[in-house]
Amino acid sequence: MESRIATLIRSTVPPIATVLSDVAPGGATQFKEGRWGCVMWLASAAFKGRAAVADVSTFGCLGGGTGLGFGNQYRNWQGGIECFYRFLSTGNPDAAQAPARRPGVRDLDVHGERYVKDPALVKEFVDGLPIASIDRRYVVFKPLSQVDLAVETPEVVHFLVDPDRLSALVCLANYSGPGSDNAILPWAAACQSMGILAMREARAQRQRAVVGNLDISARKHMNSQFGPGSLTVSIPFAMFNRMEADAPGSFLETSQWTDLLDAQDKAASDGPGTPIDPTPGTTP
């Protein structure tokens, strides 16, 4: 399946899709059972053209398992879910004497990631997640071009974008309404934005696109692969089809949009522009 939107926004990274399946694509990237890994590594593989899969034994990390729809994996946190609440906030001092969960995280276990002010607010955040248990074995990330609509239907389509292309997708999401909030930017793990949050929208009567890759812990992985300006936009498949139909004849075919892309391309080839002189000029 090809995307007119990707062509019109001159996407530098082809879009990918989430497909739920009982069969893994041949040659797909997958974590080994029980091994730690970031789900965004799987998404990165798909953005680079190779299918990637996860199941209930190979989701990489507990947050990733929760984010992809394999139930509330935070309950399996070392020391229990209360320790996860403290890990995301103020930390677990007792972790200094406990076996390290994995190399390099003891300091975070002890002092916390500090993403949320206190454990009670972390509990509120977790309780508010649309935690789900998918009805298929695999969550598959694959290039949209590899999706065969004759045999599979994507749940969500994902774009990896810079701020200009983010602007375009948010504008297009609102192009035929209703309202002006058809794209949302929730605070969540990067995998949750692409996973359970986007899949919740796919099942909603009024669907919305989800802007993601706002997770500081995951951004370092994505930055190393695609540069520091990348964000994800996850669009429920039915909404994506509407946006695909809306794209021809929209602002994406006007000079306002193409001039912006042309200027971006020129800046990339020419290097930094001349700084604007802040000194007021003389009025004639």
Cα–Cα distance list, 272 to 10, 137, 161, 163 (Å): 21, 49, 21, 17
In a domain, 153, yes or no: yes
Residues 122 and 237 in one domain: no
Q: Above pLDDT 90, what percent of the chain?
A: 85
Residue 230 lies in a domain: yes
pLDDT category, 13, cuts 50, 70, 90?
very high
258 lies in a domain?
Answer: no
What pLDDT is recorded for position 275?
Answer: 54
**What percentage of the chain reaches a pLDDT higher than 70?**
95
261 located within any domain:
no
Looking at the structure, tell me whether residues 64 and 52 fall in a common domain: yes
Q: Identify whether residues 142 and 224 lie together within a single domain.
A: yes
Domain count, the chain: 2
Q: Are strands 209-212 and 183-184 parallel, antiparallel or unpaired?
A: parallel
Mean pLDDT of 87-98: 89
Residue 268 lies in a domain: no
For residue 47, being part of any structural domain is answered with yes
Q: Are residues 81 and 67 in the same domain?
A: no
Please compute the mean of the pLDDT values over residues 66-70 and round it to a whole number.
98
pLDDT exceeds cutoff 90 at 56: yes
- Give the other-Cβ count within 10 Å of 142's Cβ: 23
- The 3-state DSSP class for residue 183 equals strand
Residue 202 and residue 107 in one domain: no
Q: How confident is the model at residue 206 (pLDDT cuts 50, 70, 90)?
A: very high
Name the band, by pLDDT with cuts 50, 70 and 90, for residue 283: very low
Q: Degrees (nearest 5) of the Cα angle 141, 222, 74?
A: 70
- Cβ neighbors of 193 (< 8 A, separation 6 or more) are 186, 210, 211, 212, 213, 214, 215, 232, 234
Q: Are residues 154 and 20 in the same domain?
A: yes
Mean pLDDT rounded to a whole number for the chain: 93
Helix ranges restricted to H, the chain: 4-8, 39-47, 62-68, 81-87, 106-111, 119-128, 163-173, 190-194, 196-202, 216-226, 237-246, 255-270
| Mean pLDDT value across residues 116-135 | 97
Looking at the structure, do residues 155 and 117 belong to the same domain, yes or no? no
49 plus 144 within the same structural domain = yes
Which of 85, 113, 128 represents a domain boundary (last residue)? 128
The total number of residues written for the chain in this structure = 284
Please check whether residues 197 and 222 belong to one and the same domain.
yes
| pLDDT above 80 for 200 | yes
pLDDT in the model for residue 74: 97
104 and 12 part of one domain:
no
Among the candidates 105, 128, 151, a domain finishes at 128
One domain for residues 43 and 144: yes
Q: What is the reported pLDDT for 272?
A: 60
**Residue 275 located in a structural domain:** no
- 């919740």: which residue's tokens? 200
Instruction: Decide if 272 is inside a domain.
Output: no
| Full domain range(s) for residue 235 | 4-71+133-251
pLDDT at 99 over 80: no
Domain boundary among 128, 153, 173: 128
Q: Are residues 225 and 167 in the same domain?
A: yes
- Mean pLDDT, residues 170-181 taken together: 95
